[in-house]
Amino acid sequence: MKKSNKQRRAEIKARRVERTAASAARLRLPDVRLPQPAFAFAIGCEPADRLVLQQYNNTYGLLPDFYVGRPFTCRDCGAEELWTAKQQKWWYEVVHGHIDSRAVRCLACRRARRERLLNAAPGANLLREQTGRLRALGAVKPNARAVAEVDAALESKWWSLRVVAIQTMGRWGGAENLERLNAFMAARSEGGRRYFSWERLAADAAKSALMRRE
């Protein structure tokens, strides 16, 4: 019986997932981000630009020498998907996604989620709206109102919004903002119970903001 295009695509995707899983098993790579130069030219791999990764990732962990496809299960629909090496390279080096971030949704579910957010009533996605506004403020010369918005964001219950506020200060520059960024770095906690504290996250965000100005 002749197979439909949908069936053929599903079979092709399944074979890709199987090949990638088998390749990872053969290479014994529980974490394919770990540098493995000997395998850099393996089939399906993409070389990583570590200079770009270092610029946009303030991490003490190891950065990859190359990317290899990662099988994952969509958190919304449960479909078995493959995050290809090329997609990872685009995400980490063009979009500058954090090196510890991962694909969690298939393309169809990402599009559906994006559509829901776009059609949501005003205020339904307040964090996204405020984040977008802060980033827009970073592209223009600050005035008193913009500075007040950043100060308010630094007191937000959402740490992610505070991080964007710090990034905005870095984009603005100026002696006062640079002094505040250095103050965030000086307040960084080391280890212990405060390892996952806001002070540590703020210091890392401030360091990244300063590095982008260099």
- Please tell me whether the overall predicted TM-score, pTM, comes out greater than 0.85 for this model: no
Q: Which of 35, 13, 130 is nearest to 82 (CA)?
A: 13
Q: What is the pLDDT of residues 100-139, one digit of tens each?
A: 899 999 999 999 988 887 777 666 678 888 899 999 999 9
Q: What is the pLDDT of residues 147-167, one digit of tens each?
A: 999 999 999 999 999 999 999
Do 66 and 48 meet the contact criterion of CB atoms below 8 Å apart? yes
Mean pLDDT value across the chain: 83
Question: Residue 34's pLDDT is what?
Answer: 47
Q: What is the pLDDT of residues 180-210, one digit of tens each?
A: 999 999 988 765 555 568 888 899 899 999 9
Would the pLDDT of 29 be above 70?
Answer: no
Cα separation, 97 vs 131, in Å, equals 16
Least confident of 6-15, 28-37, 150-159: 28-37
* Mean pLDDT to the nearest integer, 30-39: 50
Chain-centre distance of CA 190, in angstroms? 24
* Mean pLDDT to the nearest integer, 77-99: 92
Specify the higher pLDDT residue, 31 or 77: 77
Q: Which of 136, 165, 163, 160 is nearest to 149 (CA)?
A: 165
Question: Residue 104's pLDDT is what?
Answer: 94
